[in-house]
Amino acid sequence: MNNIKKALENGQSIWLDSISRDMIRSGELQKFIDSGITGVTSNPSIFDKAIAESDIYDKSLIEYAKDGVNSQIVFERLAVDDIRDAADVLRAVYDGASMRDGYVSIEVSPALAADTAGTITEARRLWAAIDRPNVMIKVPGTPEGVPAIKTLISEGINVNVTLLFSLDAYTAAANAYIEGLGEFAKAARGIPAGVASVASFFVSRVDTAVDNALPDGHELRGKIGIANAKVAYATFAELFDRKLGGGGSFFPLHTTGAQVQRPLWASTGVKNPDYSDTMYVDSLMGPDTVDTIPEATLAAYSDHGNPGSDLTNGLGEAQAQLKSLAEVGISLDSITDDLLAAGVATFADSYASLLGRIEAKLKALRN
């Protein structure tokens, strides 16, 4: 049994943080699925890279743009086709997992991160255009994104909450899911088990920012990203307590077959060469979780990763590490606030780069 399937045995789904038309049509995505991959995530940077490195989109770009629409609409048409096709490849996983896995994610425009109404409108449009049950719409976990999450879930639209860095932001996203699911169930719009969500909690970016604030050789270097995630996972266990008398508001929904909103570990590529290249996979493996992994990290994990259940151990140590960070005068709240702002800006820059790439490609193809 390979390491990806061992992770599944430990309750963690491994999703591929990459997508391209060539991957879908060549059968490469199916090979990933055969190895145990159970989902796919995308973002503007991934599409930008796919368009830059291949001519497989060229004919389609001309077709998508033939009615004179702008590059944003061209991209949406391109993305909808790819996401729909990837969802079809993953459909067998979705069916086999009773709707609890087999998803592919697509992001709303980063320009809408501070626009609740705009996010809802675009998410509805993408959901309808793709028209597949095993799709998740990525919505940023900004203050403006939280009410959008609740609304979309209440309408039965699957949501991947992205750009979560802080415990407070994670808690807000989880509560939005529970409240939205409650409204969905009350309105009897469908089967609660058919509504799914993940909360994408970013890890390595936290370490990078904290390490930059710590002196060389400090014992907390390379520790806070994982500690922060472990504390978030403990919060997940409390919020989604499925036992009668557990005190959580999720229990009545669980009795209807509703799914928990699984924590998804994002930003799992190791940025510091001094750290193990699989540390964010090995250390964050446990029940009811997802890890979305770029191809290079997936190759490393497949080769020499250490699948286990480390996520369920060491909560006390993680809490002590976060306390120690505050004691040395570093505010994790300030760091995560900055990371959220930077994450929104980076996604917006990637989106602008992607649209520029499409315009340049179209210009070259027409000449």
Active site residues: 138
- Within 10 angstroms of residue 97's Cβ, the number of other Cβ atoms is 16
Where does the chain have alpha helices with state H? Answer: 3-9, 21-26, 28-34, 44-52, 58-64, 71-96, 116-130, 145-154, 167-187, 204-213, 224-239, 251-254, 279-282, 295-304, 315-327, 332-366
What six digits make up the tokens of 26? Answer: 């060549």
Q: Are 155 and 123 a contacting pair, CB within 8 Å?
A: no
User: Which residue's structure tokens are 């446990």?
Assistant: 286
DSSP code, position 195: -
**Can you state the angle between helices 145-154 and 116-130, rounded to 10 degrees?**
40
Measure the CA–CA gap between 275 and 280, rounded to whole angstroms: 10
Tell me the DSSP string of 125-151.
Answer: HHHHHH--TTEEEEEE-STTHHHHHHH
CA 71 to chain centre: 25
What six digits make up the tokens of 336? Answer: 């995560």
Sign of CA dihedral 266, 143, 188, 127: negative
Measure the CA–CA gap between 175 and 133, rounded to whole angstroms: 23
Measure the CA–CA gap between 128 and 104, rounded to whole angstroms: 15
- Within 10 angstroms of residue 63's Cβ, the number of other Cβ atoms is 12
Measure the CA–CA gap between 127 and 150, rounded to whole angstroms: 15
**3-state SS assignment for residue 213:** helix
CA atoms within 13 A on the CB side of 132: 25
